[in-house]
Amino acid sequence: MSRVASARLVPYRLRLRAAHGDARGGFALREGVLLHLTDTVGRVGLGDCAPLPPFTPPLDVCCRALAAEAERLPGTDPIAGFYELMAAPDTSLPAPARAAVEMALGWLAAQELGIPLGRLLAPDSQVRPVRLAVNALVDAADVAEALAQAGRFAAEGYTVFKVKVGLGADRDAAVLRELRDRLGPRALVRVDANGAWSPAEFATIAPLLRAADIDLIEQPLAPGVPSAEWARLRAETGLRIAADESLANGARGLELIRATACDAVVLKPSLLGLAASAWLARAAREAGLEVIVSGAFESGAGLAAALEFAAVFGSAGTAHGFATALAVLDDPVAGVPLPAAGGVELPAAGALPALAPAANAREALA
């Protein structure tokens, strides 16, 4: 039985091909830190700590917590350590730091057992999909560029489109009206408001969303809005809604799920952690909700874990939010499949992330 032999942190900075925009603002860079574990037989497990304030604590807080945790990891049995973390989602560690530990131990444990990480996450999973559907991401603030984004994705074979809204009433209306005309009736269009609307604003914009035949509205209301208000607006508007940022508070997320105040959950394992995401996914499935899994402009280590999570917890046939990976440049992690033509292929043995040669070289010079 192997043990963790060493633990080190590898900071990274990712550039985006174009600035990401949403109702909370925008960014063109993502910073994080990889947890690099080596076991006593030489296997490597990578975890990704990729905070995204205000959804999570800031990077410096997460890094300090992760550094302290990394010092305690040598000597740990990866299998026992992973299962212990998965059994207790509540922790004093910030969620992105905990996610990094869960991922790194999980990859080591999966290698030792000779199974994909997904099977480790959900031992009762029966069939591993060979491909996951992926939605296009339309996040440009400019109307013309947003429409051009959608056009490029459509030309590449994408049929499900997620459009960032809450970027101005005129912009949102122009994009949604024109997008439906350009994509035609067969395209599935979802929107993500990132909590931009008050209950009154959501009710006001609902006719436009119905006219544009929007399939799903992600996080229309702020995370603090009570579940009863979500349920009321869901019933009054007749629109399908999904919870995302509200899930960062596990108790509040569970309340939304159990109250059937939403139709779907959007889980970001890099931001919530694997254990917390699994807990919410199981509750959502029991309530009959759609489970969508999404990336968060993280490194390939976080993306690989999210892909494995989606393979076992994602709803069959749904399109997941992994187009974020297409926006990332300078990724220090290699060996992870990327979306293409509206989907992403899953290796049968699991997608094992590894430090890219350039990243290893930079570490050697550090």
User: Do 92 and 161 belong together in one domain?
Assistant: no
Average pLDDT over residues 128-150: 96
User: Do 100 and 136 belong together in one domain?
Assistant: no
Task: Give the closest residue to 171 by CA, choosing from 22, 48, 338.
Answer: 22
E-assigned strands of the chain?
Answer: 4-22, 25-39, 44-49, 131-134, 136-138, 160-164, 188-192, 214-218, 241-243, 264-267, 290-293, 319-320, 328-329, 333-334, 343-345, 354-355
Residue 34 falls within a domain, yes or no? Answer: yes
User: Do 238 and 333 belong together in one domain?
Assistant: yes
Residue 319 falls within a domain, yes or no? Answer: yes
User: Do 115 and 170 belong together in one domain?
Assistant: no
How many distinct structural domains can be found in the chain? Answer: 2
Residue 164 is a catalytic residue: yes
User: Do 266 and 331 belong together in one domain?
Assistant: yes
User: Do 327 and 235 belong together in one domain?
Assistant: yes
Residue 162 is a catalytic residue: no
Residue 70 falls within a domain, yes or no? Answer: yes
What's the mean pLDDT when you consider all of the chain?
94
Q: What percent of the chain has pLDDT over 70?
A: 97
User: Do 9 and 107 belong together in one domain?
Assistant: yes
User: Do 222 and 275 belong together in one domain?
Assistant: yes
**Active-site residue identified among 20, 119, 162, 164:** 164
E-assigned strands of 195-289?
Answer: 214-218, 241-243, 264-267
Helical ranges in 9-141 per DSSP H: 59-72, 78-87, 95-113, 117-121
pTM: 0.95
Domain encompassing residue 177 = 131-355
User: Do 86 and 191 belong together in one domain?
Assistant: no
Question: Residue 364 — very low, low, confident or very high, per pLDDT cuts 50/70/90?
Answer: very low
pLDDT at 362 over 80: no
Sign of CA dihedral 45, 356, 15, 321: negative
Residue 55 falls within a domain, yes or no? Answer: yes
CATH value at residue 30: 3.30.390.10
User: Do 176 and 66 belong together in one domain?
Assistant: no
Residue 347 or 5, more confident: 5
CATH value at residue 310: 3.20.20.120
Residue 27 falls within a domain, yes or no? Answer: yes
User: Do 268 and 344 belong together in one domain?
Assistant: yes
**Active-site residue identified among 30, 162, 190, 268:** 268
Residue 223 falls within a domain, yes or no? Answer: yes
Residue 126 falls within a domain, yes or no? Answer: no
For 203-227, what is each residue's pLDDT tens digit? 999 999 999 999 999 999 999 999 9
User: Do 54 and 67 belong together in one domain?
Assistant: yes
Residue 175 falls within a domain, yes or no? Answer: yes
For 14-51, what is each residue's pLDDT tens digit? 999 999 999 888 899 999 999 999 999 999 999 999 99
Average pLDDT over residues 257-282: 97
